A and B are shown apart, each in its own frame.
Chain A
Amino acid sequence: MENFSVLTGIAAPMPMVNVDTDMMMPKQFLKTIKRTGLGISVFYDMRYDENEAERPEFILNQDAFRNSKILLAGKNFGCGSSREHAPWGLLDFGFRCVIAPSFADIFYNNCFKNGILCITLPEAQVEALTVQADGSDFSVDLENMQITAPDGSVTPFELDATRRHNLLNGLDDIALTLQHVGKIKAFEAKQQASQPWLYT
């Protein structure tokens, strides 16, 4: 996983509430057996019309936002299906950070596993950032946990220590867990003694 220190880039405003993962990555794209190549399909039905032509009104089809790296989203972003194809699509498009008033649990977790930073901020603060999203650069500093908007104003944010540490260092979760393999085996031995029916 790529580590995350300071991200500088364009922020795309998408203030819709309850954007679900079916919307981010419709089912026809779940048939892939790869993680990559999904960027072209992200937000498919909102992005393209019936003839697969771009809808000019959609934010990511506007020239100023085609290279966005940050998404300013609405409440309950990422609800619904557990499909990791949604964050894979965001990542493949170029997004490394999503800022929203709230996220759905599974989606939130999936993003961090793929090196996407999700930042939860009060609605008013997200709105204040959205107002400034005109295609200019924002900067997200994970080390110091702050967002700098184009006008220079600074918004601090919070994040739990484990997620921050892992993201800053691009750590592989599985390798971290495998350091505890002795404890896992000890747990199994104990559980097998007290609940033997789980081991048949």
Chain B
Amino acid sequence: MAQPSTLYDKLWDSHVVHKDEDGASLIYIDLHLTHEVTTPQAYEGLRLSQRKLHRTDKTIAVPDHNVPSTPDRLEKIEDPESRLQLETLKQNSDDFGVEYIPMGDIRQGIVHIIGPEQGLTQPGKTIVCGDSHTATHGAFGALAFGIGTSDVEHTLATQTLSMQKSKNMLVRVDGKLPVGTTSKDLIMAIIGRIGTAGGTGHVIEYQGDAFTALSMEGRMTVCNMTIEGGARAGLIAPDEKTFEYLKGKPRAPKSDAWEAAVKYWQTLNTDEGATFDKEVVINAEEIIPHVTWGTSPEDVLPITSLVPNPDDFDDPNKKSGIGRSLKYMGLEAGEALDGVPVDKVFIGSCTNGRIEDLRAAAEVLKGRKVVDSVEMLVVPGSGLVKYQAEEEGLDEIFLAAGAQWREPSCSMCLGMNPDILQPGERCASTSNRNFEGRQGRGGRTHLVSPEMAAAAAITGHLTDVRKVVSS
């Protein structure tokens, strides 16, 4: 019998085009997602070397990062640089024959939201994009990872990438998540445990009831933030939920091809007896809602905790790191996280901008009001998410509560469009990075789940959503 393999081994082995003597492999890429920020220089490179695309049917382009979230976005984009970058994407896509989804199209949205929605994201595929959150697509059992612009150019020109195989890492979470704990809390707890470099050099496979119990949306949230744990890709083996999600999606296989595809997809899991280079086991029952306090996603704690004190740490690097973070964040050591006042609340991004996230936030907001001191932005991840939310009347709940209901884009996740934090402003955000200046220079980000974000909007401060819902 063949050696037992992990899911990652299977995905890797089935895409090797060529292997060098020194171990680097040429890996075939089945789907290339492109957006305006990381592609202009790649096309410039192709033009300079007079190269064409190896093939055009495995690449799709969609504008997202620079797209304003305001209703007048089709008529005017104030920032000339943003406008030029968006026009460049359209021009390059046209010139090189790549399918392009324009801003006014209902399918437009954040690149990692539209791939699954269109059924382009499928189990067994290799998927790349010039964006580190490409890890999202691993929720379908696809090998998906972010690449830089040079590799975007390489993929356009050759439909392959030259790479070294990563190591296998297993994160196993057994048991049931307590009520009030979401997929976002789950992945933040994992990052808190392994650290932002915990997965470096590895591909993480998530196994255990905690993941199988999640919806596809929840699984995407988990895989999305895998990069925050240092691993380029996260994987969850496909199952009936995966197939159910994909069935009937515009670009999913149809009729006979569907049957054949599912049969193949069912083989995509880790064999019994396969070994991992690194394993982490966590108990789901102990995870409660989490929030970040510092400027790295690993600076995360349960909402019931106190802000850490640098003096409690021996490691001098750690000590000075925490001190620096607290200064930036404007927090006192020993202060309770529950109660820290916020100025803004952001719901959206490729981490938490899907329909389920909006439903969850609306559920908390229903019949309640955003406090006057807080500005709340709800930005659906795609035109289709927005449409679905409006069908369900979620927009009315948000508007009635006093939140703003916006158009799909990356928005305040990184503030390349006009949605940014002002210096010193504090935000409860459902995005994925709390780096210094990420949401605007001097802005202070606390990463939370959509439920926790809604709770912060109602109370005006970081708080435990479980208290809000039960009151």
Bound pair (A, B): yes
Binding site for B on A (CB under 8 A): 17-18, 20, 22-23, 26-28, 30-35, 45, 50, 74-76, 79-84, 87, 102, 104-106, 109-110, 113-114, 160-162, 172-174, 176-178, 180-181, 183-184, 187-188, 191, 195-200
A26 CB contacts on chain B under 8 angstroms = 437, 441
B172 CB contacts on chain A under 8 angstroms = none
B30 CB contacts on chain A under 8 angstroms = 198
Would you call A22 and B437 a contact (CB within 8 A)?
yes
Picked from A80, A87, A174, the residue with its CB within 8 Å of the CB of B132 is: A80
Could you give, for residues 249-268 of chain B, a 1 whenever the CB lies within 8 Å of some chain A CB and a 0 otherwise? 00001000110110010000
Chain B residue with minimal CB distance to A176?
Answer: B162
Q: List 11 A-B contacts (CB under 8 A).
A: A33-B40, A33-B44, A34-B40, A34-B44, A76-B230, A104-B230, A105-B232, A106-B146, A113-B151, A184-B17, A184-B158
Chain B residue with minimal CB distance to A79?
Answer: B196
Picked from B37, B253, B261, B433, the residue with its CB within 8 Å of the CB of A30 is: B37
Chain B residue with minimal CB distance to A46?
Answer: B436
The reply on B106 being an interface residue by CB < 8 A is no
Could you give, for residues 283-315 of chain B, a 1 whenever the CB lies within 8 Å of some chain A CB and a 0 otherwise? 000000000000010000000000000000000
* Number of chain B interface residues as a range: 35 or more
List residues of B (134-185) whose CB comes within 8 Å of A's CBs: 146-151, 153-154, 157-160, 162-164, 166
State in angstroms the CA–CA spacing of A81 and B49 once bound together: 27
Contacts known (A33-B84, A197-B257); A160 close to B22, Cβ less than 8 A: yes
Number of residue pairs spanning A and B whose beta carbons lie under 8 angstroms apart: 181
Would you call B132 and A81 a contact (CB within 8 A)?
yes
A31 CB contacts on chain B under 8 angstroms = 37, 66, 79, 81-82, 84-85, 416
A195 CB contacts on chain B under 8 angstroms = 124, 260-261, 264
Q: B interface, by DSSP: helix, strand, loop or mixed?
A: loop
Count chain B CB atoms within 10 A of each CB in A18, A22, A76, A199 and give the residue with the most: A18
List residues of B (399-431) whose CB comes within 8 Å of A's CBs: 414-416, 423
The reply on B51 being an interface residue by CB < 8 A is yes
A160 CB contacts on chain B under 8 angstroms = 22-24, 164
State in angstroms the CA–CA spacing of A169 and B438 once bound together: 37
Picked from B158, B230, B258, B436, the residue with its CB within 8 Å of the CB of A23 is: B436
State in angstroms the CA–CA spacing of A89 and B85 once bound together: 19
State in angstroms the CA–CA spacing of A110 and B161 once bound together: 13
B148 CB contacts on chain A under 8 angstroms = 82-84, 87, 106, 109-110, 113
The reply on B317 being an interface residue by CB < 8 A is yes
